[in-house]
């Protein structure tokens, strides 16, 4: 069926002023005075997530960096948190979590009924605004993707339960939790719906008639972007799922999401064509070389949502992800207008309305509601307000560079910009290459005050969507298959060197930074190239021999089989590519940042590198943070990490900065 772009326009109000300063000082790059300090960047870290409708009212979760990094539940009608500290709405299923809450308004009216997973103990709680949350599940198991079924007196979820002391001693099933609280102290009151059919699965989607459920599943060594199965089961009179069958997917086909249409037909997103496109009962609805889904890092990620009138809200694009509405009968696809050029993988619908989270190069993430009947999009939560004059934001450039063999490398380049400063004639700016995590992921082009923290001081930033990134089709992300530590390193270096060769960056003052898989790329770059003068490495993978089954969590414990190769067949690669095994090549100063509670990339990874570095005169600093896991969430941690990174660049690149703690580099 053809898929066309419509000519009609939808509208949004988004005018924002910009001003330039009157006086300009000449100072070296890196030493410019900026109103964007680390505390300001930390206060704006994170974004609203996990949108949903409760009745006809949008709700969502929101970060609170200044409150220990917790996430709270926000009610759209007031824009206020309904859960005080220390309540923290978040799931740890597969460690990256999943949709942590659900809500409804009783048919008889009254207060909303909600359930949520509390991050601290991972129990499922029942909550009515104005009352204290009450536990529904016992301590121990973890829960994600709750589906509230008041008529059944239950909430259906993904249950994750550890069976031993090892990170891979774990089982996952679909389960039903009674809403009356009878399972709070009695694990036997939880009904298991499926049994242990697969290692991993997503939450159930129940057909409107309540007779069928659909979900996704996969097994080691596959990751969900390698291949998944779309399963459908019949809901029996006993409330269990029977006659489970595979409808789509397989080892080489990644189904990323499944839903039921208003007339109870199956909708799913599959990459069988090389791109994640939408299918209805196996028929493509809008075949394009675009992505209508993405990598399933967190259970409950949602790139499309069917509306009652048959239309489908979609997040789609090649690279940047727009919010649109697809007519599956005609193939017409209309995008929402506004300043939002990137939408996250979270959607909900009610009637003709769609709620989503959108952002852009000059717009921080906002909760956006689109009325498909009128075509009007408006901000309904976390409205963007510039905390400083936007003239201090960089003017980002969307670039495509040429990597080895002529391959395309996508990147966002953020040149230095400050209305009150200019650099001395002839000086070129330092640049930091940012390698995103994942690595099967993508960095969106959105306003980020952590980037402005550097660019407003005269330090350029280039975010690289290296080969292996999502958003550009399966072939692009398959470039990293068995090439982790090669393609990502080469692509980042190609961008850095191209910026230097064209005269945009100072060749002698290039740095690289990254966290998680980006930390791996940063470390692999410092031990495998001479491109960078220094680097910042956060919560990284550094030792492939140790990282995997037994040291990291179950979800990624076999990830290296696709990124590096089967361990039994190519054991030498695990040694050769590990930065811990190449410390003799490490000469550039570096900053190492690590959360002590990280179970994904545990501190042991950093400690091995430092132990093997012992005695070699490489300047470095190692900062650890108690209470932080994989990715930093607390304001004080974010501040210290940003200031330490700036202090590293100041020392190595030779400029002065005032007002930040000194960073002691040891040898």
Question: What distance in Å separates the CA atoms of residue 312 and residue 302, rounded to the nearest whole number?
Answer: 12
The three-class DSSP label of residue 432 is strand
What's the confidence (pLDDT) of residue 8? Answer: 31
The model's pLDDT over 479-538, given as tens digits with 9 standing for 90+, comes to: 999 999 999 999 999 999 999 999 999 999 999 999 999 999 999 999 999 999 999 999
- Cα gap 76→356, rounded to integer Å: 12
Provide the mean pLDDT of the chain: 94
Q: Which of 139, 145, 30, 133 minimizes the C-alpha distance to 72?
A: 133
Altogether, the residues listed in the chain come to a count of: 667
Answer whether residue 110 shows pLDDT above 90: no
* Exposed / middle / buried, residue 661 (Cβ in 10 Å: 0-12, 13-18, 19+): exposed
Strand, helix or coil for residue 44: coil
Sheet holding 342-350, edge to edge: 11-12, 376-381, 363-371, 353-360, 342-350
Fold entry, domain 390-653: Rossmann fold (3.40.50)
Q: Kindly indicate the confidence band of residue 1, based on its pLDDT and cuts at 50, 70 and 90.
A: very low
Distance CA 601, CA 223 (A): 17
Instruction: Tell me the pLDDT band of 9, cut-offs 50, 70 and 90.
Output: very low
Helices (H), 598-663: 603-613, 635-653
176 phi-psi bin (left φ>0, alpha ψ -120 to 50, beta other): beta
The residue assigned the tokens 């969430």 is 633
| Biggest distance spanned by C-alpha atoms of the chain | 79
pLDDT digits (tens, 9 = 90+) for 420-451: 999 999 999 999 999 999 999 999 999 999 99
**8-17, 93-102, 242-251, 530-539, range with the lowest pLDDT:** 8-17
Between CA 115 and CA 113 the distance in angstroms is 7
The predicted-structure confidence for 391-428, as pLDDT tens digits, reads as follows: 999 999 999 999 999 999 999 999 999 999 999 999 99
400's tokens:
């495509």
Angstrom distance (rounded) from CA 17 to CA 4: 35
Alpha-carbon Rg for the chain, nearest whole angstrom, is 25
Confidence class for position 21, pLDDT limits 50, 70, 90: very low
- Parse the chain into domains and list their residue ranges: 390-653
Q: For residue 8, how far is the Cα from the chain centroid?
A: 32
What tokens were used for 246? 């595979």
- Summarize the confidence of residues 14-40 as an average pLDDT: 78
Q: Cα(659)–Cα(526) distance, rounded to whole angstroms?
A: 29
> Contact at 8 Å (CB) between 225 and 440?
yes
Q: How far is CA 504 from the centre of its chain?
A: 30
Per-position DSSP letters for 242-261, written without gaps between them: EEEEEEEEBTTB-EEEEEE-
Structure token pair of residue 151: 């008529």
Torsion angle in degrees (nearest 10) through CA of 518, 523, 524, 525: 90
Measured in degrees and rounded to the nearest 5, phi and psi for residue 415 equal -70, 155
Each residue's pLDDT tens digit, 326-368: 999 999 999 999 999 999 999 999 999 999 999 999 999 999 9
Give me the sign of the Cα torsion angle 194, 196, 198, 199. Answer: positive
C-alpha span between 656 and 270 (Å, rounded): 52
């Amino acid at each position: 069926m053809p898929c066309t772009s419509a000519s009609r326009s939808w509208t949004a109000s988004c005018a924002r002023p910009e001003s330039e300063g009157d006086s300009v000082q000449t100072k070296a790059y890196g030493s410019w005075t900026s109103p964007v300090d680390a505390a300001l960047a930390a206060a704006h870290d994170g974004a609203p997530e996990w949108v949903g409708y409760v009745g006809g009212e949008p709700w969502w979760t929101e970060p609170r960096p200044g409150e220990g990094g917790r996430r709270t539940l926000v009610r759209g009608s007031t824009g206020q948190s309904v859960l005080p500290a220390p309540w923290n709405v978040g799931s740890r299923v597969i460690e990256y979590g999943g949709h942590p809450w659900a809500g409804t308004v009783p048919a008889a009216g009254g207060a909303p009924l909600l359930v949520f997973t509390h991050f601290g103990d991972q129990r499922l709680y029942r909550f009515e605004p104005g009352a204290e949350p009450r536990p529904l599940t016992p301590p121990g198991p973890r829960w994600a993707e709750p589906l509230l079924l008041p008529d059944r007196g239950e909430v259906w979820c993904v249950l994750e339960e550890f069976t031993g002391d090892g990170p891979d001693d774990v089982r996952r099933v679909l389960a039903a939790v009674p809403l009356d609280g009878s399972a709070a102290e009695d694990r036997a009151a939880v009904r298991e719906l499926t049994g242990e059919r697969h290692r991993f699965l997503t939450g159930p989607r129940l057909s409107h008639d309540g007779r069928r459920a659909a979900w996704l599943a996969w097994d080691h060594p596959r990751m969900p972007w390698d291949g998944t199965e779309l399963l459908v089961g019949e809901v029996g009179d006993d409330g269990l799922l029977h006659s489970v069958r595979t409808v789509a997917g397989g080892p080489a086909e990644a189904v990323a999401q499944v839903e039921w249409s208003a007339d109870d037909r199956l909708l799913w997103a599959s990459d069988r064509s090389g791109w994640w496109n939408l299918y209805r009962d196996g028929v493509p609805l809008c075949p394009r070389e675009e992505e209508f889904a993405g990598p399933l890092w967190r259970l409950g990620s949602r790139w499309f949502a069917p509306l009652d009138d048959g239309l489908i809200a979609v997040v789609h694009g090649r690279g940047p992800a727009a919010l649109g509405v697809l007519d599956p009968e005609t193939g017409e696809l209309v995008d929402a207008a506004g300043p939002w050029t990137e939408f996250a993988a979270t959607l909900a619908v009610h009637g003709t309305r769609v709620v989503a989270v959108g952002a852009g190069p000059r717009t921080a993430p906002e909760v956006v509601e689109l009325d498909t009947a009128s075509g009007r999009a408006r901000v309904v939560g976390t409205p963007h307000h510039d905390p400083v004059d936007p003239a201090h934001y960089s003017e980002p450039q969307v670039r495509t560079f040429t990597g080895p063999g002529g391959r395309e490398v996508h990147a966002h380049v953020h040149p230095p910009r400050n209305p009150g400063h200019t650099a001395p004639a002839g000086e070129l700016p330092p640049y930091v290459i940012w390698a995103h995590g994942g690595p099967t992921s993508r960095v969106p082009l959105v306003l980020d005050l952590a980037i402005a923290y550097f660019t407003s001081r005269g330090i350029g930033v280039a975010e690289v969507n290296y080969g292996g990134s999502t958003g550009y089709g399966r072939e692009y992300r398959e470039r990293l298959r068995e090439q982790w530590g090669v393609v990502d390193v080469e692509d980042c270096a190609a961008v850095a060197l191209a910026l230097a060769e064209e005269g945009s960056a100072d060749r002698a003052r290039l740095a690289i930074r990254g966290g998680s898989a980006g930390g791996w790329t940063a470390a692999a770059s410092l031990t495998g190239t001479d491109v960078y003068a220094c680097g910042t490495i956060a919560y990284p993978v550094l030792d492939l021999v140790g990282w995997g089954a037994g040291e990291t969590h179950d979800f990624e414990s076999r990830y290296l089989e696709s990124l590096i190769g089967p361990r039994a067949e190519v054991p030498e690669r695990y040694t050769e590519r590990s930065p811990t095994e190449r410390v003799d090549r490490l000469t550039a100063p570096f900053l190492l940042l690590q959360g002590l509670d990280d179970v994904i990339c545990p501190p042991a990874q950093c400690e091995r590198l430092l132990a093997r570095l012992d005695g070699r005169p490489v300047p470095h600093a190692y900062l650890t943070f108690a209470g932080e896991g994989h990715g930093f969430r607390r304001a004080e941690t974010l501040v210290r990490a940003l200031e330490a990174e700036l202090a590293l660049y100041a020392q190595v690149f030779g400029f002065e900065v005032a007002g930040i703690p000194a960073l002691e580099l040891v040898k």
